[in-house]
Structure 1
């Protein structure tokens, strides 16, 4: 089974982003996925797309959650993916 990739769209000086990253790093021990962090300020397109929505979490290209990131929602998304294989 191929490892999932979680993408965290973030930006500097974002308290919600820092909180989300802590949750994601803890979940990485449980679900063993690749983490890619993308600063939306590095791209006008991403800044326009996500603007005030950040942090945004995508798992294997599917947007799972944005704004207030919580462990329960992300765990559910990983459990659902595992059950679909």
Structure 2
């Protein structure tokens, strides 16, 4: 996977919609790739992240969940 940022989400999640906007904007500014993964399609991911979505990882490290802080995400990408 070429994406440095992974957004774990699920359909119908308003916090996921907010997180997607943050990730899209920051990655557009930094030029980093990102991918969104729907946890509902994977039992292991649903068990791991089910109560903590949206969840954002940068290079495999957790950067935030629920409400994604743009400054923290940008700092993690620096």
So what's the TM-score if we normalise by structure 2? 0.90
> What is the aligned partner in structure 2 of residue 29 from structure 1?
28
Query: What is the Cα-based RMSD across aligned positions, in Å?
Result: 1.3
Larger radius of gyration: 1
Runs of at least 5 residues in structure 1 that lack an aligned partner in the other structure: 80-85
Which runs of no fewer than 5 residues in structure 2 stay unpaired?
none
4+ long deviations beyond 2 Å: none
Select the structure that is richer in helix: 1
**C-alpha deviation, 1:39, in angstroms:** 0.4
Q: Per-residue displacement from partner, 1:14-71 (whole Å, max 9, x unpaired)?
A: 0000001001111122211111110000101000001110000011111111111121
Choose 7-16 or 31-40, whichever is displaced more.
31-40
